[in-house]
Structures are given as C-alpha cells and as structure tokens.
C-alpha cells in the first residue's frame, strides 16, 4: 500500500505514454471540451454532507469514466488491483497501475484543477472510493 499527496503542479500518477494529444480521437478531444465543468468525479455518489462527498467507482474491463473536473481537495483509495489509461487536459496520456489499498491525496491551490478521464484497461474490475473535501483552504 502506498500513500502520496500531490498538488496539481507536480507530476501526475503513472507512466507518461503520450504527449501533445497523440493518439486522441476527435471524439475524445470533444469530450474534454464538453465536460470541462463536469464535477461528477465518480460513478455513484454514496454520501454527501456539508464536509465531504463520497464517490464509488467500479469499472469492468474496458469501461471508463468520462472526462471530469476535480476542483476540491480529495483522495482516492483503490479497492482492487488493476490498471488504467488516463487522458489529462494538458494533452498527456498515462498508464497507471494500482494495488488494493493504494491511496493518493490531491490538493489544489485556488484556480487549479485536474480534468481527466479513467479507462480500465486491465482484465479485472477496477474499483475506488473517492472522497472530496467540501471545506478547507482550497474548497
């Protein structure tokens, strides 16, 4: 199990496999335009209070979460081993490997965000819990 904290200004998770939108279809590029302000960061909103939003993501092999924008400080925990391909609005594509229990924290200075998708490219279900902090220095 690993745990890291990462502001947007540091490198994103995983191995960089493409830059400059290389390999992006016109449809994928349009999805990023259309979803530039999509704040649905998970598949199912499990709970919401004045303090947090708790999301579940469960992706079968080949399934994906469309482009979405993170603006709130948050963390995710992988519930399963697996891998994904992620495209990010800066035109990069990354291959990311997860182990059950891996946790990663993200914080955002005012005005910063992450806009990305998530595609399960592995042979088994990929599952996460994501918790967004609705209050705090960057919310």
Question: Model-level pTM?
Answer: 0.86
pLDDT-derived band at 13, boundaries 50, 70, 90: confident
Mapping DSSP onto H, E and C, the string for the chain reads CCEEEEECCCCCCCEEEECCCCCCCHHHHHHHHHCCCCCCCCCEEEEECCCEEEEEEEECCCCEEEEEEECCCEEEEECCCEEEEEEECCCCEEEEEECCCCEEEEECCCCCCEEEEEEECCCCCEEEEEEEECCCCCC
Domain ranges of the chain: 3-133
- pLDDT-derived band at 7 (thresholds 50, 70, 90) equals very low
CATH superfamily name and code, 3-133:
Jelly Rolls (2.60.120.10)
Instruction: Report the chain's mean pLDDT, rounded to a whole number.
Output: 91
Residue 109, pLDDT score: 86
| Residue pLDDT, tens place only, 51-95 | 999 999 999 999 999 999 999 999 999 999 999 999 999 999 999
């Amino acid at each position: 199990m690993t745990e890291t904290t990462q502001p947007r200004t540091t490198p994103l998770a995983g191995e960089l496999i493409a830059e400059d939108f290389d390999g992006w279809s016109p449809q994928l590029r349009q999805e990023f335009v259309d979803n530039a302000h999509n704040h649905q960061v998970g598949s199912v909103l499990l709970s919401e209070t004045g303090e947090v939003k708790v999301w579940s993501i469960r992706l079968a092999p080949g399934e994906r979460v469309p482009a979405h924008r993170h603006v709130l400080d948050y963390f995710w925990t992988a519930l399963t081993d697996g891998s994904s391909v992620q495209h990010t609005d800066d035109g990069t594509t990354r291959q990311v490997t997860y182990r059950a229990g891996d946790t990663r924290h993200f914080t955002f200075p005012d005005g910063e965000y992450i806009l990305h998708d998530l595609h399960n490219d592995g042979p088994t279900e990929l599952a996460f819990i994501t918790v967004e902090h609705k209050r705090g220095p960057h919310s």
